Amino acid sequence: MTRLAQRLLGPVTLLSLAVTAWLGLWVTPPDRVQGDLARLVYVHPALAWVALYLSFGTATIASVLYLWPRTRSVTADRVAVSAMEVSLVFILLTLATGSIWGRPTWGVWWAWDARLTSTAILGVLALGYLALRRANDDPEARARRSAVFAILSAINVPIIHFSVVWWKTLHQGATVFTSTRSLKIHGIMAWTLLISFVAFTLAYGWLVRARYRLEVARAGREAALLAEAIARRAAEVVR
């Protein structure tokens, strides 16, 4: 990514989120059946796309790249942890927005629905991944174990995706496309939905980049502290 693109990522992300909010709240009309509640469609599916597919997918691919001897690098490990942390935030936001929609529609904040439950399980898996990283002090062991766990956890993503097909669920099936791949949503509503996907994808890129830089800084600080401790010990021995 060029320096200019890196500098522009933040402002463009904020602008696209603002455009999504403006279109979603003021420009698009209320739904004929659900009224203003349907405006959550400009937030919830985009959050789920980032949480389940983009972030978790990135973390899984980075983990595979780390374990593959030819592509092993500390960068892959750092990308994996950055993407997983962002994934956890987006999973929680997905569940929260889903609950806000579920309360007036289904009458409950939470239902024992296959899609909801499997998404919550994915959140616990992401938490487990972060806990596993904290439990291992050795960087090599930490990276390997968390990479294996990320790959095992990714099995849950297709389960979430197909849960609305495999089980009878409260959660609706495919919302944007019909079974014949034609659009179910039209006009300004379709454009707003598309812009929301772009906005949240940009937000994901921005957050992962920031988290990656934090990981690099943390590793640098750990190395500096280690060097300082070794130097202090060496000075004590000489004395």
Write the DSSP string, the chain: --HHHHHHHHHHHHHHHHHHHHIIIIISPPBTTTBGGGGGGGTHHHHHIIIIIIIHHHHHHHHHHHHSGGG--HHHHHHHHHHHHHHHHHHHHHHHHHHHHHHHHHSSS----HHHHHHHHHHHHHHHHHHHHHH--SHHHHHHHHHHHHHHHTTHHHHHHHHHHHS--SS-S-SSB-TTS-BSS-HHHHHHHHHHHHHHHHHHHHHHHHHHHHHHHHHHHHHHHHHHHHHHHHHHHH-
In the complex, least distance from residue 124 CB atom to other proteins, rounded to whole angstroms: 5
Cβ closest to other proteins, residue 136 vs residue 175? 136
The Cα 60–Cα 42 span in angstroms is 27
In the complex, least distance from residue 153 CB atom to other proteins, rounded to whole angstroms: 8
In the complex, least distance from residue 88 CB atom to other proteins, rounded to whole angstroms: 13
Cβ closest to other proteins, residue 43 vs residue 164? 164
Cβ closest to other proteins, residue 39 vs residue 133? 133
Q: Could you list the residues that contact other proteins (CB under 8 A)?
A: 67, 121-122, 124-125, 127-128, 131-132, 135-138, 140-141, 144-145, 147-149, 151-153, 155-156, 159
In the complex, least distance from residue 133 CB atom to other proteins, rounded to whole angstroms: 10
Cβ closest to other proteins, residue 138 vs residue 236? 138
Cβ closest to other proteins, residue 79 vs residue 147? 147
Cβ closest to other proteins, residue 19 vs residue 148? 148
In the complex, least distance from residue 30 CB atom to other proteins, rounded to whole angstroms: 38
In the complex, least distance from residue 127 CB atom to other proteins, rounded to whole angstroms: 7
